[in-house]
Structure formats: C-alpha cells, structure tokens
Structure 1
C-alpha cells in the first residue's frame, strides 16, 4: 500500500506566514512606546531650614480660576501642589512653641496666544504659538514663638511653545516652567528669611 504524501495547502502556508509577520510587527511596535509624562517634582535633596517653632502649617489661599487664560489647573502636578511639597521639605520646625504658617498666595499660570505667520510663508514657518507665564507668591508668618515676624517672596517666569508641540513635549514644558519658577522663588525666599527672620533660625 503506497504511503500518502503530506502536502501543506498553499493557502495555509500563506496564512501562517502572515500571522508570523503580524506578530513580529506588533512586537516591534510594543518596543517603541511613547515616553511617559514627567513625574512630580520632589525636593528631598534640599537642605531643610530649621525654625524655632513647634509646628509648620501650609495654607493655600490661591483659588485657581479654572478657565482661560489660566491653565494651571490642567497641569498633571499643579503649581500649588509643587509649592506645597517644596514648603514641607524646605522648612522644619525644631522648637517647643509657636507656629510657622506658610501661605501660598499665588500659583497661577496664564496662557497668551501669539501671532502666527500668515500666507504662503506660514506653511513653511514653525511659529511659537503661545506664551505661558507662571507667577508664584508666598508669605511665611511666625506666631506664638519667642520672636514673631514674617517674610515674603515672589517669582515670575515665562516660556513660549511651538505650534506643533506634542502632548509629551507640552507636559515636559509645564514641568520645567514650574521647576524654574519655584527655584527662583526659593532663592529669593531663602535670602528674605535669613534677613527678616534671623532670630528664629536654628
């Protein structure tokens, strides 16, 4: 009795080949995932400023308008949240009485539309389409300690964004703007605290 030859059907071979190719393409796509959004700003590496008070309170009195031209409420980490984290890491109560109350008075970011190149030239021009301006203002009040007083500081920084910026690039720009503005605020505030509140520094 003659042996039967096992012949694969051409259509089956083609289907297997296409399935293999599709699997390879999906695997290749999975290795090129878009970059994730920036993580929240942290301030663990900052040297704390020790205050001769028993408690530190961080009070936020800034009310985000929640509408244009303000966009701070749309940030993954709002400037208010970043300022709160900064305050809690920057100041450390080491006294037996009194309260240091840090008040967040401004944590806004406003967007301004910029003029763009029109006509045929505009097709070949990559314009800066918007300007973002961040403003931060804080006040540190000392109450119930051996010596009272207060210190204030404010900072403002701006950045422009290109009209074809990606979502990831936009969020990175937001994070950088928050960090740069807060760094400027910190530098000014440390100088003011050292000058105005020297008696309560430890």
Structure 2
C-alpha cells in the first residue's frame, strides 16, 4: 500500500471516530424529560349534568388557615381547586330564566401529621412512612329561584381520604402522593355528589 493510500485510510478512521464521539456527546446532552404536572385534573370524560337554570356559580366558603397542620395552600392542586374544576366541567345550565345553580364549597382541608419512625440501628435498615395527609371535601349544591330567593332543591356531598409518604420521599414523590390523594378524593366526591343530585334535585335536571 502506498503512503498516500495509508494516509487517506487513517484520515477516514479519524473522521469516523470524531463522528461517533459527536453523536455520543449529543446523546448524552439530550434534554431531561419534562417534569410531571400535578395540578391538572379534568372531568371532561364524564357526561355533564345539565340544569334548567340560567347560570352555574361556585362559591368558596372554605378559607384555608394558611398554617400548620394545614398544607392545602402548599399543594399544586388543592381539594377546593379540584372541586372548582369539577363544577366548571360537570355542571352546566341550559339557559332557563329565573333559576340559578350554586355550588358552595364548605370544606377543602388537608392536614399533615408526623408519624413515629424507628430510630437507631434498626431504623437505619428500613424505610417507614413518616407523614400522613388527611384530606376532606364538603360541598352543597342548591337550585335557587332567583325571583324569590327560595331554594328549590339541594344536594350535598362530604368525602374524606388519607395518604402517607415515606421518610425518604423527595419533593416530587410528595407531590405525586398529594395528586393521587386528590384524584381519589374527587372520584369519591363525583360519585357522591351525582348520586345526591339525582336523588334530591333530579327535577331540576334536563338530563
């Protein structure tokens, strides 16, 4: 083989090696996956509850204490925020004049409680649940005659759930546990409130 051919071959090898190195670096610098969102819960997959009314309003009667043991103000999605979204997506009015539907949210608390964990050598070899979160949601739906102010029909629902997180939970782990807690709470609330509406306010429904 001539020296010129040998030199050309070495250049090809170096070029291929450089290309492989660039590809490896590019692969290693790919952007990380987007963080999961824990503030997005929807109910559009459910059939809306349509009322013979001019409008639907949501009233937030619950006021978060904004201090321990309450933590709902720290959550990406609180029970009250989820209930507001539920009302927006599930409750509709057909435009019938003289009536309004009001959903009043009376409770939407989430409280944190520290749990006892094993200390010392024994505790070092196991991961225990360190915090417990108790969530509650209560709301009343009223169909009101806007001329007289008389409540024509009323339905209520109150639900409660809890969740625990381990002592080594990251911020994302905790927010994921909170989101799962609110998902379950809203599933219970949706079922309980719809049952109550169909039992006590079915005459105000279009369908």
What TM-score do you get using the length of structure 1 for normalisation?
0.82
What do the CA deviations read for 1:46-85 (whole angstroms, capped 9, x no partner)? 2101111111010001100111110000011222111101
What SS does the corresponding residue of 2:116 show, helix, strand or coil?
A: coil
How far the C-alpha of 1:27 sits from its partner, in A, is 5.8
- Residue 25 of structure 1 deviates from its aligned partner by 6.0
Partner of 2:177: 173
Equivalent residue pairs, number: 184
Question: Deviation per CA, 1:173-195, whole angstroms, max 9, x where unpaired?
Answer: 11111111011011011111111
Instruction: Please state if 1:152 is matched with 2:178.
Output: no
Local SS of the residue matching 1:148: strand
Per the alignment, do residues 88 and 114 of structure 1 end up closer, same or farther by CA in structure 2, a change over 3 Å counting? Answer: same
Q: Where in structure 1 do 4 or more consecutive aligned residues deviate above 2 Å? A: 23-27, 29-39
**Matched residues in 2 for 1:39 and 1:138: separation?**
21
How far the C-alpha of 1:153 sits from its partner, in A, is 0.5
**Which residue of the partner structure matches residue 119 of structure 1?**
120
Q: For residue 37 of structure 1, report the CA deviation from its aligned partner.
A: 3.5
> 1:37 touches 1:168 (CA, 8 Å); kept in 2?
no
Q: Deviations over 1:118-143 (max 9, x none)?
A: 22101111010011111000000111
Which shifted more, 33-42 or 126-135? 33-42
Match of 1:183 among 180, 187, 193: 187
- For residues 30 and 193 of structure 2, the distance between their equivalents in structure 1, rounded to whole angstroms, comes to 46
List alignment gaps of at least 5 residues for structure 2.
Answer: 1-20
The answer to whether the 8 A contact 1:147-1:200 is kept is: no
* C-alpha displacement of 1:31: 4.0
